[in-house]
Amino acid sequence: MKKIFKIVNKLKKGDKIAIISPSFGAPAQWPEVFEIGLTRLKQEFGLEPVLFPSTTKKNASTEERARDILAAFSDPQIKGVMATLGGNDQVTYIKDLQEGVFKDNPKPFFGFSDNTHLINHLWLCGVPSYYGASLFTQIAMPGKIDSFTKYYLDKAFFKFELIQLQASTYHSEYSSTNWDDVTTMDEERSFIDNLGWHWDGHSDTNGITWGGCLESIDEILRHGIDIPDIEEFKDIVLVLETSEEVPDHSYVFRVLRALGERGFLGAVNGVLVGRPDTFSLDSSVPHEWREEYRTKQIETVLDTVRRYNQSCPIIQNLDIGHTHPQIALPIGREILISSTKKSIQAYF
């Protein structure tokens, strides 16, 4: 049976949007950067951020963070929910959140990386969300919000539209910012040319998006967390991307193989893959290595998916996930893929 999703209302200027920290308490670590993000939400989007007890608390417990998530979705005055940043521990508690709260109070959620766990939980509840648009990484960008990123943020926040996705003409090598030095927030990012999408496949198809950060999906599989069943995967376009941890291509292969051996890769209608992140603040590697890493991941994804699915289109190097600029991609919404036209359209 085809999955039925709730209607999630769009935001309007002046609406209240909950700002929560479901994973790492970034606002406690970098309060000045946090304030930049809050100010931009107000000034550039006309939204009114609302904070919860654990939003700015350092080392908040999972119980405290769970209460804030449920409170944000339960409050009728709150029209949307945004994560401050990602982290690495949502796998320990998101699965236990009461599904009725989300089913009875559907509203748009914005976040990525470790927030893959909350996005998966919402998907199972029939609530669409957006993979992207964390407060720190997309709103509080150095210098200003990137115009490409802002275009898709505007669609995700305010517009019910079928949007033609585009490949950015540029991208940044830097997934992270040195928030410890707040003076760097005045400096706009430097960019290099983007090579565009890597397309493999000849079919035209459509499906409902599901997925997120590959490392989080690995955690979901390891811990036996519920995901869509195999029948639902027959209507899914799989969304994947890797984080600033820069996992080796052998790791990417193993996670994809796990999805393949369980039958999920063979069932999907398409695969969308974000441009691999290649930079971490605690490492410095030459540009040539970064290009080699991206190429190797593209080859690994293609070879592994094709072991299990010979027909679905596989499009890589998209501006989703740990990328700058970024598309806040709808999850749990229909996406249309035309290999004939090399076109991707998403219902925002």
d(CA 137, CA 37): 9
pLDDT digits (tens, 9 = 90+) for 73-128: 999 999 999 999 999 999 999 999 999 999 999 999 999 999 999 999 999 999 99
pLDDT the model gives residue 280: 62
pLDDT grade, residue 59 (50/70/90)? very high
pLDDT the model gives residue 177: 75
pLDDT grade, residue 189 (50/70/90)? confident
Q: Is the pLDDT of residue 282 over 70?
A: no
Structure tokens at 79: 């029209």
pLDDT digits (tens, 9 = 90+) for 288-327: 788 899 999 999 999 999 999 999 999 999 999 999 999 9
Q: Which of 326, 6, 345, 346 is nearest to 139 (CA)?
A: 326
- Which neighbouring-strand residues pair with 345? 164, 336
SS3 assignment, position 103: helix
Give the Cβ contact number of residue 145 at 10 Å: 17
Angle at 324 between CA 24 and CA 169, to 5 degrees: 170
d(CA 311, CA 201): 7
d(CA 274, CA 165): 13
CA 25: distance to chain centroid? 18
- 325 preceded by cis ω (within 30°)? yes
- Distances, alpha carbon 348 to alpha carbons 192, 227, 264, in Å: 28, 23, 25
Q: What's the whole-number mean pLDDT along residues 186-190?
A: 85
pLDDT digits (tens, 9 = 90+) for 211-248: 999 999 999 999 999 999 999 999 999 999 999 999 99
Angle at 25 between CA 21 and CA 26, to 5 degrees: 100
Burial class (CB in 10 A: 0-12, 13-18, 19+), 272: buried
Q: Which of 329, 322, 323, 326 is nearest to 345 (CA)?
A: 329
Say what the pTM is. 0.97
Q: What's the whole-number mean pLDDT along residues 179-186?
A: 88
Full set of structural domains in the chain with CATH: 16-140 (3.40.50.10740), 164-347 (3.50.30.60)
**Could you tell me how many helices (H) and strands (E) the chain has, helices first?**
11, 16
Q: Is the pLDDT of residue 281 over 60?
A: no
Q: Are 20 and 55 in contact (CB under 8 A)?
A: yes
Angle at 81 between CA 76 and CA 86, to 5 degrees: 155
Angle at 164 between CA 268 and CA 197, to 5 degrees: 65
Q: Is the pLDDT of residue 175 over 70?
A: no
d(CA 192, CA 168): 11
